[in-house]
Amino acid sequence: MFRTGLLQWNRTHNKRNMPWKGERDPYKIWLSEIILQQTRVEQGLGYYERFIQTFSNVHALAAAPEQQVFKLWEGLGYYSRCKNLIATAKYISETLNGVFPATYETILALKGIGPYTAAAIASFGYNLPYAVLDGNVFRVLSRIYANETPIDSTEGKKTFSLLAQQTLAQEEAGAYNQAIMDFGATICKPVPRCAHCFFATQCQAFLQNKQAGLPVKGKAAALKERWFHYVVLQFEDTIAIQQRTARDIWQNLFEVLLIEALKKEDKQTILRQLEKSYNLMPNEYDIISAAANATQKLSHQKIYFSFIHIRLRHPKEINNMLWVSQKVLDQYPFPKTLLLFLQKNGSVTGKKFD
């Protein structure tokens, strides 16, 4: 009953428009799905359109300089997605001659693709009978079945994966998968619009008045806290930057000089460490500004930021640091919070530092 009713709702009432809906090109579907991983549709729309305009096919993406791709991705977060996007584009372009895999198993084997993304590409691109299971689908299924198994548990993932596959319209997999995600995004929302639901009289959560408590999630893990003290080093119209190459957050992005600490440190402590670590004397620089009020929450971490902007009186070589003219600084991809600081205070908008 739900499957039949959902497809009817999709044909007559689903007005949710997105540029990739109805798309059959697996390259474009793949791009949209990678961009939308852990990203709201409203945020991802512009990125999808810019990627399609810049890289019209997988060969164009594979041939692009990595720095250009990361710059286009800048601000989306979860940069491992971008790294995997580049690797998979190169593999499809160079090894598969640009032909996107056409079975669930071969799609799943691609770097950066898990069961949800593989099911989405397989069903939307090839109408293969694989059910998608994202946050919207978890919510819908947990309510129509009144299933209180925690969705983030091993048991929950197995249970809802089975329910999703059992409920799937096998002959119309692509249409059904899009419909159930749209239904969760527009009707069966976190605060549900039950008065507008075609299935309300059969929905077990509605009948038992349990909608508000579903889906059930386990206790969230504690966030790891880190303190990033950034030092903007400027000499004349150049800024010192470095690329993050370690296996850590924001790998492959660029940043200014970073002093990471176990706790919040005051300006004088950071300057003393700077002087000691980089053989920089107090009479060799001037302090332009200092700020320490920014935070950024990631999936498992919370980062506290401080910024000190200093101008060197003489040129100085610093290990692994690249001195870049402010005129070209906007060509480098930066982590979001650092980018916002640079945009507000400096040259990524074309304005020179004070």
Instruction: Assess contact for 230 and 291: CB atoms under 8 A.
Output: no
Question: What is the spatial distance between Cα 298 and Cα 309, in angstroms, rounded to a whole number?
Answer: 25
Rounded Cα–Cα distance for residues 343 and 250 (Å): 18
> Which residues are the active-site residues?
33
Task: Find out whether 6 and 137 touch, Cβ atoms under 8 Å.
Answer: no
41-54 and 66-73 helices cross at what angle (nearest 10)? Answer: 150
Which long-range contacts (C-beta less than 8 Å, at least 24 apart) are formed by 42-45?
43/76, 44/76, 45/18, 45/19
Q: Using CA atoms, how far apart are residues 244 and 250, in angstroms rounded to an integer?
A: 7
Q: Which helix (H) or strand (E) holds 112?
A: none
Element (H, E) at 43: helix 41-54
CA distance 150 to 108: 25
Question: Could you give the CA distance from residue 30 to residue 89 in angstroms, rounded to a whole number?
Answer: 10
Distance CA 133, CA 115 (A): 8
Q: What are the structure tokens assigned to 312, written together?
A: 């060197």
Q: Which of 140, 177, 130 is nearest to 22 (CA)?
A: 177
Q: Cβ distance 79 to 70 under 8 Å?
A: yes
